[in-house]
Amino acid sequence: MSKKNVTELVKKELQPFFEKESYVLYNTEFVKEGKDWYLRVFIEKAPQDGEEWPTSVGTDDCEKVSRYLSSRLDVLDPIEQNYYLEVSSPGLDRPLLKDEDYRRYRGELVDIKLYKGLDGKKNFVAKLLNHTDEYMEVEDENGKVIQLPFDNIAKVKLTVVF
């Protein structure tokens, strides 16, 4: 089964369980690292009673999802090779991957890595203002609004501020 088909199957199998248990699938990936394969599932808890994103995901949550998914995959047996199943939170410094992520975290500080430098910088921190299919609009530390084309963005993740 292809990597894409594995991740799509995982999404499909988790959907009813997540709706019942108030979880949200943040991302899933099926990757080979060295000689080993990893099926990684990143989860969030849906906010309850006025909570804001991101909500706290604990080891009990990860274990509950892991047990459910593992039992479903054992029954279906869709993956030919041996693999490790990992279920975790996407973390405080979570990458922004989908339109929904960019909408949800509008106004937050993000770490941006570019393929090609802008004013001599490939890495910077800025406030996320907006996004379209073509670009992300941010405000730098000097208050300057910049439009960054997505085809020049290597990675965007939330900034962790202590």
- Give me the pLDDT at residue 155, please: 97
Which CATH fold would you assign to the domain 3-88?
A: GMP Synthetase; Chain A, domain 3 (3.30.300)
- With a cut of 50, list the residues of the chain below it in pLDDT: none
Task: List the domain boundaries for the chain.
Answer: 3-88, 99-158
- Give me the pLDDT at residue 93, please: 93
Summarised one tens digit per residue, pLDDT across range 10-41 is 999 999 999 999 999 999 999 999 999 999 99
Does the N-terminal peptide bond of residue 54 adopt cis geometry, omega within 30 degrees of 0?
A: yes
- Give me the pLDDT at residue 2, please: 79
Which CATH fold would you assign to the domain 99-158?
A: SH3 type barrels. (2.30.30)
- Give me the pLDDT at residue 53, please: 67
